[in-house]
Amino acid sequence: MRGLSVALVAPLSDADATIQSMDDASPAKWHLAHTTWFLETFVLRDFVSDYALFDADWPFLFNSYYEAEGARHARPMRGLLSRPSLAQILDYRAAVDEAVLAALPTLPEAARALVTLGMHHEEQHQELLLTDILHHFSVNPLESAIWSAPAKVPVAMPGPIGWIEGVSGEVEIGASGASTSSTSPDFAFDCEGPRHRALLHPHALADRTVTNGEWAAFIADGGYADPRHWLSDGWSWVQAQGITAPLYWRREEGGWSRFGLDGRRAIDPAAPVTHVSLYEADAYASWAGARLPTEFEWEAAAAAHDPLAGNQLDAAGPVEPRPSLGGPAFFGDVWEWTGSAYRPYPGFRAVEGAVGEYNGKFMSGQFVLRGGSCATPRGHVRAAYRNFFYPHQRWQFTGVRLAKDI
Amino acid sequence: MRGLSVALVAPLSDADATIQSMDDASPAKWHLAHTTWFLETFVLRDFVSDYALFDADWPFLFNSYYEAEGARHARPMRGLLSRPSLAQILDYRAAVDEAVLAALPTLPEAARALVTLGMHHEEQHQELLLTDILHHFSVNPLESAIWSAPAKVPVAMPGPIGWIEGVSGEVEIGASGASTSSTSPDFAFDCEGPRHRALLHPHALADRTVTNGEWAAFIADGGYADPRHWLSDGWSWVQAQGITAPLYWRREEGGWSRFGLDGRRAIDPAAPVTHVSLYEADAYASWAGARLPTEFEWEAAAAAHDPLAGNQLDAAGPVEPRPSLGGPAFFGDVWEWTGSAYRPYPGFRAVEGAVGEYNGKFMSGQFVLRGGSCATPRGHVRAAYRNFFYPHQRWQFTGVRLAKDI
Amino acid sequence: MRGLSVALVAPLSDADATIQSMDDASPAKWHLAHTTWFLETFVLRDFVSDYALFDADWPFLFNSYYEAEGARHARPMRGLLSRPSLAQILDYRAAVDEAVLAALPTLPEAARALVTLGMHHEEQHQELLLTDILHHFSVNPLESAIWSAPAKVPVAMPGPIGWIEGVSGEVEIGASGASTSSTSPDFAFDCEGPRHRALLHPHALADRTVTNGEWAAFIADGGYADPRHWLSDGWSWVQAQGITAPLYWRREEGGWSRFGLDGRRAIDPAAPVTHVSLYEADAYASWAGARLPTEFEWEAAAAAHDPLAGNQLDAAGPVEPRPSLGGPAFFGDVWEWTGSAYRPYPGFRAVEGAVGEYNGKFMSGQFVLRGGSCATPRGHVRAAYRNFFYPHQRWQFTGVRLAKDI
Amino acid sequence: MRGLSVALVAPLSDADATIQSMDDASPAKWHLAHTTWFLETFVLRDFVSDYALFDADWPFLFNSYYEAEGARHARPMRGLLSRPSLAQILDYRAAVDEAVLAALPTLPEAARALVTLGMHHEEQHQELLLTDILHHFSVNPLESAIWSAPAKVPVAMPGPIGWIEGVSGEVEIGASGASTSSTSPDFAFDCEGPRHRALLHPHALADRTVTNGEWAAFIADGGYADPRHWLSDGWSWVQAQGITAPLYWRREEGGWSRFGLDGRRAIDPAAPVTHVSLYEADAYASWAGARLPTEFEWEAAAAAHDPLAGNQLDAAGPVEPRPSLGGPAFFGDVWEWTGSAYRPYPGFRAVEGAVGEYNGKFMSGQFVLRGGSCATPRGHVRAAYRNFFYPHQRWQFTGVRLAKDI
């Protein structure tokens, strides 16, 4: 599973893997090292008695945000580290992997649970690694393609959105045995539970996400210039940043293009719009006379679908949201912004120790996204899965599904 | 009712009423003018056919955030306006009041509803006016007292917090006929409705808010220096701003003092702590092994209490939270931070027209506060009332009630 | 002489006198208090044995930049002080003036020299007071006139610039007995000396300063949009700040208007351009195929002229540069930017004690201006006088005289 | 000569050569490409009729500040370019070198002069390349040594500074035939001329620059904490940036260490202090009861010395200022801050065309440095040579020679 991370950086040079193109992103090299540090620290250092650190200077560099682990390199300076090199970090990965595998048979349950957590952590960083690479190459005026893509097969434009009635009344929400200490196939992050009952009001959900073509119509109708559609914070953001289209879109003579892992190409009007912020998602919904679903409405509907279906990440290569083939797909393509703030569920309590910093402390100011994207490793996401970002962030593969009261 | 606003500025000179001490605050003069502009614009201009504006240049200066009303003076520049003077603005108030009273008998229902809204709007600004004056005088090194206070009568320290079981199961939440178009005694802002059912899980609420004495113990225990208690955004805020105590507190030789409308005095350990941010409230709760209540938990409990009771604003003078006299008072003294993000209720829809900008567009990034404070005009608040601020803001009279799962 | 300061604030309300419209400016009230603090501190406190401070809290508020005098109020916060009031500060002035006059007969020579310095210091602040008031009223959208002005008498447009040959070879530069400790009629600030010889190369000076009409031609020719004319720092400034005309200019339907102490009016094409930065002055000179004079070239030429002549400040009222009546006037109307950095003369040494901070420590990053302006009290300026500002500053009455090599 | 640039990057990986550690610095790769762009643009493109650009997208990336050459990549984003790679840029260099050599025999005089200018331009970037590499590795917590250094041979501490009388009276200053269009051995940059007479006043110069040991005494005496020594802008800088020692110094248990191209080592008290700003240099001089020399005083003295002597750059390797061996060395080791603002000489006129942007437009806000450093290619510097930086900059090898009036 950790091999996918290495495969993802195969097209990158040492220099490519060193760049940090904005504070929100991290160098590819850093992702490879940080996920390794996670295992080295919480498994090897803490549970293998005679383990010697691969390099004692590196934990300072590769701790992300664990206050309990002490001082660390400032996040915005991650791109100033030409050393250690990509090759050295690949060696680090190999050495730690080997040590973990050697220790595994004799590790206590608590440590094995941390290995499991480390694997899910790795998957999260595989997605971030892809989105950070995409951002990095987007700011280089040469706009190189990272992977070449096969020629696009034209598909029929999807028809108008259809509405499907949502589940209402009392429902069960959240992961049942959810705990980072579980090694069962039912792994879930702590923030996905406890499982609890919630009361849903009558509503309908769109049967697919919003397309690039629909988004272009929103732009053409002056959507980005009319404050009536926008949250106040969103309108400030649009004006301060001069936002007029989704991230990576550019107006060309003949229409809109977008930058992707396969370079710059014309937008596909049939494909789901992506790289929009919560502010944009909310403004679009307002313009369309609808609203965003709550995370509970989304989960209640998605629970009936197969999380392994849909366009998700299986192997390195260019990934991109694809046009809907019909049927209300809830998983893959784009993360769907919900209207729910990322806050703890009733009875939530962070786990003890350093890994208790994993989720709980981020529960202010962010919104929940659901469903996974084309860059989410298949098997990582599930109906109860809660992703979260700040409302202005949009370098992830984020999109929009509409909802309405009925 | 509008007379209270004028009474509040009685101790202020023209210059006092002109200062804007931070972007979040507004000059006293501006509050007086803005609330008048609200009536002049939405009632007189829109419904009185031959009404001539008091001064055609002033709407640009006194529109707050109504995009539909066009361009307006930048908020951070409100303190650069020595003209119009306080006296001119008091004339403006008198003229508009007279015109509204003259028109009232013949105003259509829609306009009368806007007058009602204007009165509730005025009450909101009466509270802001007081908190902005307080902030203004706090940044002047002379630290003048605005009102002299009577000598404090010592009271017994409250005992430890008691826990009262909260309402659980399905409850009704929100204002029933809630609408800004109502002139009934059951007025509520649009964001307080629609009334709807919600499901509460078993929990307990503290029988009083946290005191200054308890907060001093939190500080003494290193509460502001230990990242484990803090939300990630809160910890960044504490470090970037160098926060070590509630706003207006200062460490003196013999303990802590605070600045209030009656000048600088020693803190009263028995009185509710105030001027804390959501970040501080959450960190305190974490340190105390508890959590903040949700807004629904709070409302379900408060619904059984009299919103007219408690320490609220009746007349100009120094206002300050007072020690609890026993009994679970839910109204007055301090606004209570809840753990709920300020988001729309199921079925919420902003009203049409410019006053539709009143609440809905602020529903991102802010947290709900409940219960009113010592600076809230008595009669303004109710169990369903939703106040909201950003999690770092603390110049309002904000405090903390603990909750826990049971 | 101190009476002029009080006359200048006669049209201002307490609130008017309280505003600080930018960090570079100070409230009118502050100027009145600071110049009084200067006398109270360096004369009364230091030389009158039983003198009691007027108010012990005020030195903290009214010290400008004297590090030796200890901690002081932050400059950008001067506009947050509604108290002390204008009336209190006028009382302060009266009390200090009375105390100085009473002490004067018995003051030692060193103290009398400080009184003299205090008078020249007062004159400097009289000019700043006017330019700060002008800036303050310019940022209020009401654009009030502070003084009403008589109707303008049309004058003939001046003809093209004439060139007068400058003094070359070895010349004497600087004030001879220049010292702040002098009470002689030949007072000069320390930075004006020592008098020394300098070598000038052949050059010519324009016989008048650049007019508004000529500046409008520079604008019309794209002067603000062509980087070839600009210093690199100037071009960055123009682009970052969006500068397209002198400060206070606005493009109207029929041409340019400017804001002045008499309100907004059409520019007078015959009058000297003013409120331009060194960057603009230098760009204009470059565009015109000329350069700015050095401060020595200017002084050598100006030494033959009467510093009491020209349009300078005699009494409160609207001041403004006036069209040239012919003859190479070197004094009054506008300060003339020179191409000389403000650096010490050979042999310069700052005086001992706190007043040694008066000039020397500002000798980096600033350029010298010469000649005084319409806002400079008559009698304050002289040929050797060195004024200095940063190259982007332009809220003083600053203008341009061209020079060229011959 | 261009080979030295390539030799300097020999120890660097592609990633090392990609980093931009601050806005003032540029990636090593960028220096290699920019100097090549200079030749390609101003020689090959402009003078070789059938020349095809190596890559038409690259001029946008490698133009530094030539406005006449159109839009260009923003300076602070130079470190976001992992592509083109170091290898591609070395190919670019080889191709352009070959084309220039092939064209050289038939190039007109004007083009040959530009080749000469390009060589001197290259030398300037060789020095910047070294200082930028040094800065880059200093911000990486691993603090790698770029070159290993031989063991230090202890030398005797120099005795106290001796004073040598400077040249006074009328002197000739500047490069005689100074012009960028010259291919003679007497090449000089345009800003070094015209040669002209200047009048110097009696003064003395120190016979060596200030040492690390002397600087440590300045620190120990509280030099960085006493505002009396500092220019006002310098004091603001010290306080805002928290400056307490030269760049790259760190307080260790046993004294001070510094970071250099050979890694972190103890400071050598006998060696010249380096990496100090003009503000620090001026404060030190003030503390020492002296002043900085003017650039003319320096040039008049240095004219009698051999510019090829002293510690300068001959080959790749660790470079560092070395202890004085006696005798008033004016060239090499450290650039010496002068007290002279960088302004044009009498009669200066920038050359026509794009290369006219080379020097003249930078003549505001900067100070002149003289003498070259250990990182200046031998042969590059001369007595008339004017280097210039902003007063806060200190990542060059900058040091201090004292002067005083006599």
User: Is A235 near chain B, with CB under 8 Å?
Assistant: yes
Question: Best residue in B65, B69, B364 to probe A by mutation, most A CBs within 10 Å?
Answer: B364
pLDDT at position D114: 95
Residues C10-23 have pLDDT tens digits of 999 999 999 999 99
CB contacts of D403 in chain C (<8 Å) are none
Relative orientation angle of helices D278-287 and D232-241, to the nearest 10 degrees: 110
Smallest CA–CA distance, residue C343 to chain D, in Å, is 8
Confidence category of residue C180, pLDDT binned at 50, 70, 90: very low
Which portions of chain D are predicted below pLDDT 70? 177-185
**The CATH fold of domain D163-171+199-405:** paralog of FGE (formylglycine-generating enzyme) (3.90.1580)
Residue C379's region, left for phi above 0, alpha for psi from -120 to 50, else beta, is: left
Is this structure's pTM higher than 0.90? yes
Task: Provide the 3-class DSSP secondary structure of residue D67.
Answer: helix
Question: Best residue in C361, C366, C404 to probe D by mutation, most D CBs within 10 Å?
Answer: C361
* Structure-block tokens of residue C121: 């210091």
CA nearest to A21, candidates A144, A143, A136:
A136
Query: For C217-236, what is the mean pLDDT?
Result: 97
Say yes or no for a CB contact (<8 Å) between A365 and B365: yes
Say yes or no for a CB contact (<8 Å) between D347 and C405: yes
CA nearest to D197, candidates C340, C199, C299, C202:
C199
Confidence category of residue A184, pLDDT binned at 50, 70, 90: low
Confidence category of residue C154, pLDDT binned at 50, 70, 90: confident
CB contacts of D362 in chain C (<8 Å) are 231-232
> Least CB-CB distance to D364: which of C197, C361, C391?
C391
> Which residue of chain C has the CA closest to B73?
C141
Task: Provide the 3-class DSSP secondary structure of residue D240.
Answer: helix
CA distance C253 to C216: 14
Nearest-10 Cα torsion for A91, A96, A102, A103: 170
Tell me which of C215-219, C312-316, D80-84, D85-89 is least confident: C312-316
Whether A contacts C, i.e. 3 or more CB pairs less than 8 A apart, is no
Confidence category of residue C178, pLDDT binned at 50, 70, 90: very low
CA nearest to C219, candidates C283, C162, C264:
C283
CA distance C280 to C289: 14
Asked if residues D382 and D330 have their Cβ atoms less than 8 Å apart, the reply is: no
Residues A236-267 have pLDDT tens digits of 999 999 999 999 999 999 899 999 999 999 99
CA distance D6 to D78: 19
pLDDT at position D177: 64
Nearest-10 Cα torsion for C80, C86, C87, C90: 130
- Domain limits, chain D: 2-139, 163-171+199-405
State the burial class of residue D294 (Cβ atoms within 10 Å of its Cβ: 0-12, 13-18, 19+): buried
Q: How many CB atoms lie within 10 A of CB D252?
A: 11
> Least CB-CB distance to D139: which of A14, A80, A86?
A80
CA nearest to A85, candidates B32, C252, D16, C400:
D16
- Beta strand residue intervals within C201-331, DSSP E: 203-206, 249-252, 255-260, 263-266
Smallest CA–CA distance, residue D337 to chain C, in Å, is 13
Residues B191-243 have pLDDT tens digits of 999 999 999 999 999 999 999 999 999 999 999 999 999 999 999 999 999 99
Confidence category of residue A154, pLDDT binned at 50, 70, 90: confident
Query: For B149-156, what is the mean pLDDT?
Result: 78
> Which residue of chain C has the CA closest to B18?
C15
SS3 of chain B: the string is CHHHHHHHCCCCCCCHHHCCCCCCCCCHHHHHHHHHHHHHHHHHHHHCCCCCCCCCCHHHHHCCCCHHHCCCCCHHHHHHCCCCCHHHHHHHHHHHHHHHHHHHHHCCHHHHHHHHHHHHHHHHHHHHHHHHHHHHHHCCCCCCCCCCCCCCCCCCCCCCCCEEECCCEEEEECCCCCECCCCCCCCECHHHCCCEEEEECCEEEECCCCEHHHHHHHHHCCHHHCHHHCCHHHHHHHHHHCCCCCCCEEEECCEEEEEECCEEEECCCCCECCCCCHHHHHHHHHHCCCECCCHHHHHHHHCCCCCCCCCCECCCCCCCCCCCCCCCCCCCCCEEEEEEECCCCCCCCCCCCHHHHCCHHHCCCCEEEECCCCCCECCCCCCCCCEEECCCCCCCCEECCCEEEC
Asked if residues D307 and D154 have their Cβ atoms less than 8 Å apart, the reply is: no
Smallest CA–CA distance, residue D145 to chain C, in Å, is 36
Say yes or no for a CB contact (<8 Å) between D201 and C196: yes
* Structure-block tokens of residue A303: 């629970």
Residue with tokens 């029988």: B207
* Structure-block tokens of residue A109: 């349950």
Strand order in the sheet with B398-399: B387-389, B367-370, B335-341, B398-399
Chains B, C: CB pairs < 8 Å: 78
Query: For B324-336, what is the mean pLDDT?
Result: 88
> Least CB-CB distance to B361: which of A68, A199, A232?
A232
Whether B contacts C, i.e. 3 or more CB pairs less than 8 A apart, is yes
User: Is C235 near chain D, with CB under 8 Å?
Assistant: yes
Smallest CA–CA distance, residue C354 to chain D, in Å, is 9
> Which residue of chain B has the CA closest to A196?
B201
Confidence category of residue C177, pLDDT binned at 50, 70, 90: low
> Least CB-CB distance to C231: which of D278, D363, D391?
D363
pLDDT at position C184: 58
CA distance A404 to C212: 62
Tell me which of A152-166, B196-210, C191-205 is least confident: A152-166
**pLDDT tops 60 at residue A396:** yes
> Least CB-CB distance to B232: which of A65, A197, A233?
A65
Smallest CA–CA distance, residue A9 to chain D, in Å, is 14
CA distance C378 to D373: 51
D residues 246-305 closer than 8 Å to C (CB): 278-279, 282, 291
CA distance D56 to A263: 19
**pLDDT tops 90 at residue C246:** yes
Smallest CA–CA distance, residue A340 to chain B, in Å, is 8
Instruction: Give the bridge partners for D399, in sequence order.
Output: D336
- A52 vs A96, D206, D343, CA distance in Å? 11, 55, 60
* Structure-block tokens of residue D130: 């070294």
| All residues at 6 or more sequence positions from B242 whose CB lies less than 8 Å from its CB, including other chains | none
Strand order in the sheet with B403-405: B163-165, B203-206, B403-405
Say yes or no for a CB contact (<8 Å) between C85 and B15: yes
CB contacts of C142 in chain B (<8 Å) are 57, 81, 83-84
Residues B339-368 have pLDDT tens digits of 999 999 999 988 877 778 888 999 999 999
Q: How many CB atoms lie within 10 A of CB C326?
A: 12
Smallest CA–CA distance, residue A352 to chain B, in Å, is 11
* Structure-block tokens of residue C332: 């009054």
Amino acid at D214: E
Phi, psi of D271 (to 5 degrees): -85, 155
Residues D103-124 have pLDDT tens digits of 999 999 999 999 999 999 999 9
User: Which chains border B (3 or more CB–CB pairs < 8 Å)?
Assistant: A, C
Confidence category of residue A351, pLDDT binned at 50, 70, 90: confident
Residue with tokens 């509040």: B8
CA nearest to A15, candidates D397, C357, D83:
D83
Tell me how long chain D is.
406
CATH code for B163-405? 3.90.1580.10
CA nearest to B101, candidates B169, B55, B155, B44:
B44
Phi, psi of C355 (to 5 degrees): -70, -5
Residues C110-153 have pLDDT tens digits of 999 999 999 999 999 999 999 999 999 999 999 999 999 887 77
C residues 26-85 closer than 8 Å to B (CB): 57, 60-61, 73, 77, 79-85
User: Which chains border C (3 or more CB–CB pairs < 8 Å)?
Assistant: B, D
**pLDDT tops 70 at residue C280:** yes
Q: Within chain B, what is the greatest distance between any pair of CA atoms?
A: 66
Whether B contacts D, i.e. 3 or more CB pairs less than 8 A apart, is no
A255-260 and A196-200 beta bridge pairing: unpaired
| All residues at 6 or more sequence positions from C383 whose CB lies less than 8 Å from its CB, including other chains | C299, C302, C303, C305, C307, C330
Residue A128's region, left for phi above 0, alpha for psi from -120 to 50, else beta, is: alpha
CB contacts of A19 in chain D (<8 Å) are 18, 79-80, 82
**pLDDT tops 60 at residue A180:** no
Nearest-10 Cα torsion for D334, D340, D344, D345: -100
Nearest-10 Cα torsion for D399, D401, D404, D406: -170
Question: Best residue in D199, D342, D389, D393 to probe C by mutation, most C CBs within 10 Å?
Answer: D199
User: Which chains border D (3 or more CB–CB pairs < 8 Å)?
Assistant: A, C
Asked if residues D274 and D321 have their Cβ atoms less than 8 Å apart, the reply is: yes
CB contacts of B134 in chain C (<8 Å) are none
pLDDT at position A162: 95
**pLDDT tops 90 at residue A328:** no
CB contacts of B231 in chain A (<8 Å) are 361-364
CA nearest to D63, candidates D342, D352, D349, D355:
D355
Residues D183-199 have pLDDT tens digits of 456 899 999 999 999 99
Percentage of residues of chain A with pLDDT beyond 90: 87
* Structure-block tokens of residue B241: 């701003």
Q: What share of chain D is helix, strand, coil (3-state, %, to 5)?
A: 35, 15, 50
pLDDT at position A350: 83
Amino acid at A253: E
Asked if residues C201 and D196 have their Cβ atoms less than 8 Å apart, the reply is: yes
Smallest CA–CA distance, residue D224 to chain A, in Å, is 27
pLDDT at position B177: 64
> Least CB-CB distance to C346: which of D201, D227, D367?
D201
Asked if residues C341 and C367 have their Cβ atoms less than 8 Å apart, the reply is: yes
Percentage of residues of chain D with pLDDT beyond 70: 98
Asked if residues A200 and A300 have their Cβ atoms less than 8 Å apart, the reply is: yes
Asked if residues A302 and A167 have their Cβ atoms less than 8 Å apart, the reply is: no
User: Is A350 near chain B, with CB under 8 Å?
Assistant: no
